[in-house]
Every structure is written in C-alpha cells, then in structure tokens.
C-alpha cells in the first residue's frame, strides 16, 4: 500500500512545491512508483512538472467534488511520476465543498483505490490551513514540513502543529509527522544556523539530516517544466533532493527492521 504524504506549511514560498516535484522525481529515479497530487489552485506543481494547467479537463477539482474518478485525472510526466493537475478552478472547491457531506474526507476517499498502485503519493498543499489542506491532512499518513530557517519560522510552525494535533484527535488519529525539512538554507547566515539548532533541539530525529541549500538551479528548473535532476543533475539542488529521497528510504528500512 502506498504511503500518502502531505507536503504542507501554511507559510507561503517555503519550498513546498519545489520539494513535491523534486522528491517525487528523485524517488521515481529509484524505481518507486510515485503519484503527485497538486492541491493548490496556483497549479505550480502542475506547471513545474511540465504540464499546461489549462489543458487537462480532469483535475484535483473534479476529484474532490466526486465528478470523476482519480484514474481519469492521471497524467504521466517527464519526471517519471504520475500527476493529478490543478488550476485556478480549484479555488472554487473551497466554497463548493462546504455544501457537501464529509467534506474533509473527499480526497481520502478519492485516492483509496489508487494506493495499491503507488509506493508514494505526495500532496502539494496551498499556503493556507484551509479545506484543501485539511483534505490533504485527512488523506495522509504523514506530513512533510518544508521550512526556511528564519526568525518567525518556529512561530508559524506552532499553528501547523496545533492543526495536526486537532486532526489527530478527530479526523485522522494515525497522522504522523514524516519530517521537517530545512530549505533554501544558507550556511553563511548565522540566523539560519541558530534556528537550525533550535529545530534540532525541538524535533530531534524528525528533523531531516539532509538540508536543501539555496540553489539557483532549483529555482530555474520549473520554468523548463522539469525536476532539477533532469535539468542539472550535478547541481547542489539535485544532489540534495536525491539525498533526501535516500534518507527517506533509509528511515523506512530502519522502521521496518525494528
């Protein structure tokens, strides 16, 4: 059964989409079967995967509203994974879902049958703790939290951790924290190092050892519609996301062996 991982942080621009695309592609490279669900009306994961977000009639919107089965939305992409695309239409789902039954469980139900076909299902969340993110957190086994090591990062994290706790108490008792990922890291910046040390203290093993550096190739790759490993394999960004995939797989082997 595939593991469903929500990639979430309500703070904008912290590297959620970059992590979604590049972790999906890095795991696909190790022959894992990977699905990436774009659950952000911005459609950045869709465009960054090389897909025209207006060209596909079946998207995350239709899936959430139950207008089409997940299978009808799957698009194989150059990065080696399957994508469920999204576009601006998804912004409307927020309002339309409110009218529906079990509105927080729509995504969970929609992906249930596909879980057997994948090793990993990633959900790229929007920068908000809204109904789209809630659907992702209810569908997921775990949450991967990308974050920048800046002064207010820990404060923002508290809101997310409280939301995760509430969801555990109600809609999804087995939701775990997959890991915290330091992104856009600059080792020459003292603050980055300070916040990093605090994270280590607070989160211990949940903090990935792999750190994603600030790297221009990671920022350029989406405009070519490619994951960074297909754009510049030798770049620090590509190597970092491959290392993250390796760390994730190793952690799972350790858990399985324990």
Residues that bind ligand ATP in the complex, under the rule CB under 6 A: 12-18, 40, 42, 44, 127, 183-184, 212, 214-215, 218-219, 222, 237
**By CB under 5 A, residue 17 contacts Mg ion:** yes
CB 31, CB 196: distance < 8 Å: no
Closest CB 256 distance from ligand ATP, rounded Å:
30
Choice between 71 and 79, CB closer to Mg ion: 79
Closest CB 51 distance from Mg ion, rounded Å:
15
Choice between 170 and 223, CB closer to ligand ATP: 223
Structure tokens given for 254: 């350790």
Choice between 42 and 87, CB closer to ligand ATP: 42
Choice between 114 and 183, CB closer to ligand ATP: 183
**3-class SS shares of the chain: helix, strand, coil, % to 5:** 50, 15, 35
Output phi, psi for 44, to 5 deg: -70, -35
Show Cβ contacts of residue 64 under 8 Å, excluding neighbours closer than 6 positions: 90, 93, 97, 106, 107, 110, 132, 135
Choice between 80 and 222, CB closer to ligand ATP: 222
Query: If contact means CB under 5 to 8 A according to the sort of partner, which of ligand ATP, Mg ion, none does residue 200 touch?
Result: none
In whole angstroms, give the CA distance from residue 149 to residue 38.
Answer: 25
Which is nearest to 154 in space by CA: 200, 187, 215, 185? 200
Residue that is written with structure tokens 């790759």 in the block: 221
DSSP, res 225:
T
Half-sphere exposure (Cβ direction) of 155: Cα atoms closer than 13 Å: 3
Which is nearest to 242 in space by CA: 7, 55, 71, 22? 22
In whole angstroms, give the CA distance from residue 213 to residue 190.
Answer: 14
Beta-bridge mates of residue 124: 7, 38
Does residue 182 sit in helix, strand or coil?
strand
Query: If contact means CB under 5 to 8 A according to the sort of partner, which of Mg ion, ligand ATP, none does residue 14 touch?
Result: ligand ATP
Contact letters for Mg ion, residues 215-234 (x by CB under 5 A): --------------------
Query: If contact means CB under 5 to 8 A according to the sort of partner, which of ligand ATP, Mg ion, none does residue 138 touch?
Result: none
Choice between 12 and 92, CB closer to ligand ATP: 12
Closest CB 17 distance from Mg ion, rounded Å:
3
Query: If contact means CB under 5 to 8 A according to the sort of partner, which of Mg ion, ligand ATP, none does residue 15 touch?
Result: ligand ATP
Contact letters for Mg ion, residues 34-73 (x by CB under 5 A): ----------x-----------------------------
Q: Which residues bind Mg ion (CB under 5 A)?
A: 16-17, 44
């Amino acid at each position: 059964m595939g593991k469903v991982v929500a990639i979430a942080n309500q703070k904008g621009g912290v590297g959620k989409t970059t992590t979604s695309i590049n972790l999906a592609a890095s795991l696909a490279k190790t022959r894992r079967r990977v699905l990436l669900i774009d659950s952000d009306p911005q459609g950045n994961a869709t465009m960054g995967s090389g897909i025209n977000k207006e060209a596909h009639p079946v998207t995350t919107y239709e899936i959430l509203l139950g207008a089409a089965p997940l299978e009808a939305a799957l698009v194989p992409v150059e990065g080696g994974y399957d994508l469920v695309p999204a576009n601006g239409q998804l912004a409307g789902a927020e309002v339309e879902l409110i009218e529906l039954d079990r509105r927080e469980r729509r995504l969970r139900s929609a992906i249930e049958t596909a879980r057997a076909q994948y090793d990993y299902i990633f959900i790229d969340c929007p920068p908000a703790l809204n109904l789209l993110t809630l659907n992702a957190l209810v569908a997921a086994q775990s949450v991967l939290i990308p974050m920048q090591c800046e002064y207010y990062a820990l404060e923002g994290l508290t809101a997310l951790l409280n939301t995760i706790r509430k969801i555990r108490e109600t809609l999804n008792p087995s939701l775990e924290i997959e890991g915290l990922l330091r992104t856009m890291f600059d080792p020459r910046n003292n603050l980055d190092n300070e916040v990093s040390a605090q994270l280590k203290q607070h989160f211990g093993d949940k903090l990935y050892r792999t750190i994603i550096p600030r790297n221009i190739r990671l920022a350029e790759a989406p405009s070519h519609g490619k994951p960074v490993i297909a754009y510049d394999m030798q770049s620090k960004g590509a190597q970092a996301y491959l290392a993250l995939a390796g760390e994730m797989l190793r952690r799972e082997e350790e858990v399985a062996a324990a």
